[in-house]
Amino acid sequence: MEKLKILHMYPNMLDLYGDSGNVEVLSYRCKMRGIELEVSKHLIGDKETDFTQYDIIYLGGGADFEQQILADDLVSCKDSIMEAYKAGTFFLMICGGYQLMGQYYKDSNGEKVPGLGLFDYYTVASTDKRCRCIGNIVIEAQLDGEKYKVIGFENHGGQTTNVKSPFGKVLSGNGNEFESSTEGYMEKSVIATYLHGPLLSKNPKVSDYVISYCMSRKLGEKYIPAPINDMKCRKINYVDEGFDTLASEMSADPKAILRLKPVNYYAIKNKYIMGKVYTSEDHQENYVQFFRYEYDHECGKTDIYPLSAELMSKALAKVGIIIDLKALAKDQ
């Protein structure tokens, strides 16, 4: 089995909006191609990390506070990171991770946080903390010579300028700056973007671009990922009542999903359970995985549990998503 190695930097601090899900998506899509993805972590104070030993270096998103805390540690790793970049290691960076790899980030209070200086762009936040780029966003990106629409969610106060090679053209949303025409930064071995979602779960083409690049570099010849029968993922937020016992309950009887109470994110965003329900196109293959979030940081997750088509449809019906299994059966 072929193997790729990914270094997840500061996963305990840079996980805004579940950005660690990007690593899970890469792992899943590698596994479906017979590729093992070995995941390692770099935390503050790790002095022995050799960044050149990895195929992918990943940084998720974080708020100003987290960026200020880890900035000095990141800069202390500059030489090894620069060596990895020059050697062709792939860099995937989301939001705060994107900002930290530039020249600097100046927050809304005027405090300047040094970046790694790997790229020429820099970021300055509005002095009015209410001025943020928030909402759904659609961009047009070019991957391996083909144009694709890439979707996600942006929420950033920082305005990133001096971007010489953007990830894509903004079709809807803001992008690097308020009402910008471009979003993110891209090179052949770099994707830096403000798009949450997570990015790779919403855009499998981007995930496969990363895998293709890394495998081609490892094999010394062009690697084209085999197609995957992608499953649809629907997210349901639940009141956090008994997450600690949820895993054992689901293992004993998947009907435990029906005891959970759906809730609007904005009503209980400080602490909640997110259920990710995966369904195949014919709804014959269905799974669910649960995540616990506190203040938009993932702080626990369960295994993945299979669901019958009937149980899946009942769980989705509780949030107004109706799957007519009888009609589907007739069509088949």
- Alpha-carbon gap, residue 206 to 203, rounded angstroms: 6
Question: Is the Cβ–Cβ distance between 258 and 238 less than 8 Å?
Answer: no
Catalytic residues: 95, 196
Question: Is the Cβ–Cβ distance between 115 and 70 less than 8 Å?
Answer: no
The values of phi and psi at residue 331, to 5°, are: -65, -30
- Alpha-carbon gap, residue 89 to 323, rounded angstroms: 43
Could you tell me the two tokens for 34?
A: 């017979």
- Alpha-carbon gap, residue 287 to 291, rounded angstroms: 14
CA distance to 4, 14, 150, 198, per residue, from 23 (Å): 12, 13, 18, 10
Task: Collect all residues with Cβ–Cβ distance below 8 Å to 227 and sequence separation of at least 6.
Answer: none
Residue 234's beta-bridge partner residues? 277
Angle at 251 between CA 34 and CA 25, to 5 degrees: 30
3-class SS at 51?
helix
Question: Is the Cβ–Cβ distance between 156 and 140 less than 8 Å?
Answer: no
| Among the listed residues 25, 36, 100, the one whose alpha carbon sits nearest the alpha carbon of residue 70 | 100
Question: Is the Cβ–Cβ distance between 261 and 239 less than 8 Å?
Answer: yes
